[in-house]
């Protein structure tokens, strides 16, 4: 597995690839390859035993041409400045391809949250929120959950911000719990857009999703919901994994039952109904109809891509394929439906949450899911149209053509402020 691919360089390469199919000047393009600003801060927080520990944290605001910066905050030991920059750039193009009025941002703390108590995590989160306070705001920069963060952390950040600002402004952050201003359907939204993309992809490719074999790498919020919803379409989820390894069942798993097992034991490994257990790498190279990488960046590099046997890949994670893997899979005629569309459900329902917060009005889950389906299927149609019209080598490049053009249009229409 590639340790070497730098996600920020991958992002820049993806933009360059798309530029070949567009009429956009190098000066404008260069702007789109670098963040506008990056906050780097060191959080000094008291641990439960009374020591003070320092945690490095970042927030990258990549581009605000289409609206306030938007994107999650992750807690992970591998968080780095370049990773956060890349993830914030991917948010710009993600928001653009689904045409919601946001730019892109992303934040992270270098931490393994499993090593800390809930009280410690609360102090760390509130400390980060205090540092973020001058940058975030309902019309400025709106954080959300990402890897290892969820409703609990979002509620803390909202409360810290509102307390310091002496106001009530739930739209300063999305992904909150329902009683703190969260939206129905937000938790499921990322996996739902993955399912919708897979459904549309199989339809476009004239293949039957019913009965299709599926492997899902990663069983966190995105992966497990995608597995559940794809299973509900009649597909057969034959393999799933998490950081502890992969499990395989020829006849297909009941994703909900696997989730219960993970909740009880901490991992999918040892699931009693499995026929076999193997490594994540083996899962990624299984001969299945559909592969869903739903873990972290760089899961599939060029070398591993040569062994990928799936016919269709739908990316639930951000950046799971390196640019070299993209080239290998394009040449092998494997269709890859990119992250910026397939996991855009999360930020799309974040947008609905923000709209509801601003209107102080609550939508039903049915309405949320209907609007999400419309947005994802429209974006999908637009993507395949652009793929066919431009002759782009793969769906990712076509997706960037659509997204970059929208950002460039917003920039050029509003002119440049020196």
Binding site for ligand GLU (CB under 6 A): 70-72, 94, 144-146, 174-175, 318, 343, 346-347, 350
**Do the annotations mark residue 70 as ligand-binding?**
yes
**SS3 category, 337:** strand
Closer to ligand GLU by CB, 312 or 344: give it. Answer: 344
Per the rule left: phi > 0, alpha: psi between -120 and 50, beta: everything else, 173 is beta
Structure tokens at 80: 């780095």
Report how far residue 192's alpha carbon sits from residue 98's, in angstroms, rounded to the nearest whole number. Answer: 14
Closer to ligand GLU by CB, 144 or 407: give it. Answer: 144
- Residue showing the smallest CB distance to ligand GLU in the complex: 72
Closest to 409 (Cα-Cα) out of 32, 37, 8, 34: 32
Please report how close the Cβ of residue 304 comes to ligand GLU at its closest, in angstroms: 23
Report how far residue 199's alpha carbon sits from residue 177's, in angstroms, rounded to the nearest whole number. Answer: 29
Closer to ligand GLU by CB, 67 or 323: give it. Answer: 67
Partner residues linked to 46 by β-bridges: 52
Write the CB contacts of 361 (distance below 8 Å, at least 6 apart in sequence). none
Residue 39's φ and ψ, nearest 5 degrees, are -90, 130
Please report how close the Cβ of residue 93 comes to ligand GLU at its closest, in angstroms: 11
**SS3 category, 60:** strand
Structure tokens at 178: 């329902």
Selecting among 106, 176, 228, 262, the annotated active-site residue is: 106
Structure tokens at 15: 């933009």
**Do the annotations mark residue 190 as ligand-binding?**
yes
Active site residue 106: yes
Q: What is the DSSP string of 349-401?
A: HHHHHHHHHHHT----HHHHHHHHHHHHHHHHHHHHHHHHHH--SSHHHHHHH
Please report how close the Cβ of residue 408 comes to ligand GLU at its closest, in angstroms: 22
Q: How many CB atoms lie within 10 A of CB 95?
A: 30
Closer to ligand GLU by CB, 189 or 238: give it. Answer: 189
Report how far residue 103's alpha carbon sits from residue 15's, in angstroms, rounded to the nearest whole number. Answer: 16
Please report how close the Cβ of residue 316 comes to ligand GLU at its closest, in angstroms: 10
Write the CB contacts of 49 (distance below 8 Å, at least 6 apart in sequence). none
Give yes or no for a contact between 310 and 291, defined as CB atoms under 8 angstroms apart.
yes
Please report how close the Cβ of residue 70 comes to ligand GLU at its closest, in angstroms: 5
Closer to ligand GLU by CB, 89 or 255: give it. Answer: 89
Please report how close the Cβ of residue 195 comes to ligand GLU at its closest, in angstroms: 16
Using alpha carbons only, give the angle 293, 374, 207 rounded to the nearest 5 degrees.
50
Give yes or no for a contact between 118 and 374, defined as CB atoms under 8 angstroms apart.
no
Closer to ligand GLU by CB, 221 or 236: give it. Answer: 221
- Residue numbers in the known binding site are 70, 94, 190, 221, 350
- Residue numbers in the known binding site for substrate are 70, 94, 350
Indicate which residues carry an active-site annotation: 106
């Amino acid at each position: 597995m590639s340790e070497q691919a730098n996600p920020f360089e991958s992002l820049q390469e993806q933009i360059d690839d798309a530029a070949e199919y567009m009429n956009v000047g190098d000066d404008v393009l260069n702007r789109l390859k670098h963040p506008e600003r990056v906050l780097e801060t060191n959080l000094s927080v008291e641990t439960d035993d009374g020591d003070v520990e320092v945690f490095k944290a970042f927030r990258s605001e990549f581009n605000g041409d289409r609206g306030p910066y938007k994107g999650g905050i992750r807690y992970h030991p591998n968080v780095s400045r370049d990773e956060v920059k890349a993830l914030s750039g991917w948010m710009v193009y993600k928001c653009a391809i689904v045409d919601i009025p946001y730019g892109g941002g992303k934040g992270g703390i270098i931490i393994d949250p499993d090593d800390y108590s809930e009280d410690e995590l609360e102090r760390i989160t509130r400390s980060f929120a205090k540092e973020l306070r001058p940058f975030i705001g309902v019309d400025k920069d709106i954080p959300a959950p990402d890897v290892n963060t969820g409703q609990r952390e979002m509620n803390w950040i909202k409360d810290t911000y509102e307390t310091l600002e002496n106001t009530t402004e739930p739209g300063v952050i999305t992904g909150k719990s329902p009683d703190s201003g969260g939206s129905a359907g937000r938790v499921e939204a990322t996996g739902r857009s993955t399912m919708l993309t897979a459904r549309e992809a199989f339809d476009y490719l004239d293949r039957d999703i019913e009965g299709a074999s599926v492997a899902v790498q990663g069983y966190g919020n995105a992966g497990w919901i995608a597995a559940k919803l794809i299973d509900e379409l009649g597909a057969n989820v034959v393999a799933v994994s998490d950081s502890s390894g992969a499990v395989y069942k020829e006849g297909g798993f009941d994703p909900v039952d696997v989730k219960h097992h993970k909740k009880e034991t901490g991992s999918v490994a040892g699931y009693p109904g499995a026929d076999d257990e193997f490594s994540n790498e083996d899962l990624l190279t299984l001969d299945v109809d559909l592969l869903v990488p739903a873990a972290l960046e760089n899961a599939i590099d060029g070398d591993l891509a040569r062994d990928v046997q799936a016919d269709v890949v739908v990316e639930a994670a951000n950046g799971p394929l390196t640019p070299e893997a993209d080239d290998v899979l394009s040449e092998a005629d494997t269709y890859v439906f990119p992250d910026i569309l397939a996991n855009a459900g999360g930020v799309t329902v974040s947008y609905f949450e923000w709209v509801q917060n601003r209107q102080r009005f609550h939508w039903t889950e049915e309405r949320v899911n209907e609007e999400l389906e419309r947005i994802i299927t429209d974006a999908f149609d637009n993507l395949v149209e652009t793929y066919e019209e431009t002759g782009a080598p793969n769906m990712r490049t076509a997706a960037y053509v659509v997204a970059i053009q929208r950002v460039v249009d917003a920039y050029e229409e509003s002119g440049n402020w020196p």
